[in-house]
Amino acid sequence: MKNQTVLFRSPVPVAETATIAGPKEKEGPLHAYFHYTLEDDLLKQDSHEHAEIRLHVGVLKQLLNRAKLSPQEIDCAFAGDLLDEIIGSNFAMRELDIPFFGIYNACATFGESLILGSCMIEGGFAERVTCSVTSHFATAERQYRYPLELGCQRTPLSQWTVTGAGATLLDKNATSKIKITSGTIGKVVDYGIKDANDMGCVMAPAALSTLRTHLQDTGRTVDYYDKIFTGDLGYSGSLLLQKKASETGIILHNHEDCGNLIYNRIAQNVESGGSGACCCGLVFNGYIYDQLQKGRLKKVLLMPTGALLSKTSSLQGESIPAICHAVSVEVIE
């Protein structure tokens, strides 16, 4: 480990991915890249929380099917979501016979899972690891802000939590040319912002902190990457990141944000764009992985960003801490 960055001497193959996208995500510009899409975000369950559990079970089963593996062939699973006590993951894992590590870094959880999963493989502890996340618009709104039934007005800077599930299979012995080459572990950053409807602004400083550290630790410049994808800064957060980065001399000409990519922001009426643990979960496991497979992208930095609040911390007047992890994924022939 160099400062905050783990450099994988034997880069870890990304063997397979799986995605389930919600109805609104299906209407977005990336619809063709999702493996499975939903007509109904309740999945015939009696609550949206139960629907989110079904999403998590579904995406892991889809991943195993696609990779032609049984649960018993997976050494361990890293899983997380945004529900209190990550019940989306806990209840999913009771249906899958896999040793389980529950993780939580809010919308940066998927980045955390890729780093820890890669360490388990490169360290020689595991051969196959799954990394999975879910999020759901309806469960997130009522948990972090207000129940949808209240019909509260959305603010211009608010983002739309992605409904979906994304999963990645890391496999030491896979022949995949798409490999995880490094991971930069984020630190918690808090700039004193208290608005739970302005996540982009909360998380942009964490993204900048981790980006600068990643470039320093690896000796790379932003030009090393074909694209740098942040997780869910949305429209306003992305502008803030690019502005603040330029002030430190980093011109982010190759930056995209998964929260900007997943919806037609204006047409789909999502204010500042997408967010949620599965925003980058869908975009990475759907779109980015596809582009890496086709060779249209060869060097990618994925930077999932997370806002570490709870409803209790907000009601008690706290500001919102944030974190960002960075994972470099490259095509290595």
Token couple for 54: 């079904």
Q: Which is nearer to its own copies, 40 or 97 (CB)?
A: 97
Q: How far is the CB of 198 from its own copies (least distance, A)?
A: 18
Q: Which is nearer to its own copies, 170 or 292 (CB)?
A: 170
Query: Residue numbers of the site for its own copies (CB under 8 A)?
Result: 1, 4, 6, 46-47, 49-50, 75-76, 80, 82-87, 90-91, 93-94, 97-106, 112, 115-116, 119-120, 122-127, 185-190, 308-313, 316, 318, 321, 323
Token couple for 149: 């039934």
Contact assessment for residue 169 and residue 289, using Cβ atoms and an 8 Å cutoff? no
Rounded CA gap, 81 and 103, in Å? Answer: 8
Q: How far is the CB of 32 from its own copies (least distance, A)?
A: 34
Q: How far is the CB of 320 from its own copies (least distance, A)?
A: 9
**CA-wise closest residue to 168 among 194, 215, 130:** 130
Q: Which is nearer to its own copies, 99 or 156 (CB)?
A: 99
DSSP-assigned beta bridge partners for residue 272 = none
Q: Which is nearer to its own copies, 115 or 261 (CB)?
A: 115
Q: How far is the CB of 210 from its own copies (least distance, A)?
A: 9
Token couple for 219: 């000796």
Contact assessment for residue 223 and residue 186, using Cβ atoms and an 8 Å cutoff? no
Q: Which is nearer to its own copies, 105 or 238 (CB)?
A: 105
Helix (H), strand (E) at residue 65: helix 48-67
Q: What Rg value do the Cα atoms of the chain yield, rounded? A: 18
Q: How far is the CB of 45 from its own copies (least distance, A)?
A: 10
Q: Which is nearer to its own copies, 40 or 73 (CB)?
A: 73
List CB contacts of 165: < 8 A, sequence separation 6 or more. 18, 19, 20, 55, 56, 58, 59, 132, 133, 134, 278, 281
Q: How far is the CB of 49 from its own copies (least distance, A)?
A: 6
